[in-house]
């Protein structure tokens, strides 16, 4: 019976050990991944601090007229009421292009609402501004997630889609959308980045609806 080849066994054992040893590429990849995660966390921290400072500045500079009108504007867009009213006026008082703008504005707004409120808000789960800030401002703050702003997302979706269908309605509706966005910060219902993200989401949904139509023309 042949004796075991010890040299071969030693070579196999060494090979297995080398195979189990982490490769340099894997180590570099892990370090790069950790560095990227660290950079993202640091950026997130800076954004949150800037968010807090900007909100504190707005809260620290009240205005009697804004104290009266910003909460009203914010409440008017609860449950999309104001935008339904705007669409009704556009459809009743305008021509064919205005009716088309109202229709596309409503479609974009209604698609944006579940994406924002049911999907993104639940995924992110950001808390509203703290009570110590909210109690210094007029207006009611809902208990849902803070990021992104659903009011702003709906407003920008409606305005963007309507303006793409009828450019002349863009400026007046844009002023209203900006007012809604600022009202959400002024009443301390949202951080500024919540509003910015909501605006980006609304514009994205409206463009996603519009671009295929342009491609077919």
Name the residue ranges covered by the structural domains of the chain.
1-61, 64-216
Assigned token pair, 143: 């208990």
CA gap 106, 80 in Å, rounded: 10
Q: Which of 134, 140, 136 is nearest to 191 (CA)?
A: 134
* pLDDT (tens place) for every residue of the chain, 217 residues total: 455 555 554 455 555 555 555 565 567 666 766 766 666 666 666 777 888 899 999 988 889 999 899 999 988 988 899 999 999 999 998 788 999 999 999 999 999 999 998 888 888 888 888 887 777 666 666 778 889 999 999 999 999 999 999 999 999 999 999 999 999 999 988 999 999 999 999 999 999 988 776 555 5
DSSP 8-state secondary structure symbol assigned to residue 130: P
Indicate the fold that domain 64-216 takes in CATH. Vanadium-containing Chloroperoxidase; domain 1 (1.20.144)
Q: Which helix (H) or strand (E) holds 107?
A: helix 96-114
């Amino acid at each position: 019976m042949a004796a075991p080849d010890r040299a071969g066994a030693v070579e196999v054992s060494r090979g297995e050990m080398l195979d189990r040893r982490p490769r340099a590429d894997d180590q570099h990849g892990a370090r790069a991944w950790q560095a990227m995660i660290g950079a993202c966390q640091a950026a997130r921290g800076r954004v949150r601090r800037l968010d807090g400072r900007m909100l504190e500045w707005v809260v620290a500079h009240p205005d009697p007229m804004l104290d009266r009108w910003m909460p009203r504007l914010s409440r008017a867009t609860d449950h999309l009421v104001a935008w339904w009213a705007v669409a009704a006026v556009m459809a009743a008082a305008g021509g064919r292009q205005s009716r088309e703008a109202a229709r596309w504005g409503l479609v974009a707004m209604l698609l944006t609402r579940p994406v924002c409120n049911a999907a993104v808000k639940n995924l992110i789960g950001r808390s509203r501004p703290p009570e110590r800030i909210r109690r210094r401002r007029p207006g009611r703050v809902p208990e849902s997630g803070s990021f992104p702003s659903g009011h702003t997302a709906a407003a920008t979706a409606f305005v963007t889609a309507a303006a793409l269908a009828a450019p002349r309605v863009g400026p007046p509706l844009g002023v209203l959308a900006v007012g809604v966005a600022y009202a959400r910060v002024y009443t301390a219902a949202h951080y500024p980045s919540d509003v910015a993200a909501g605006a980006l989401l609304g514009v994205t949904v409206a463009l996603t609806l519009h671009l295929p139509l342009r491609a077919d023309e």
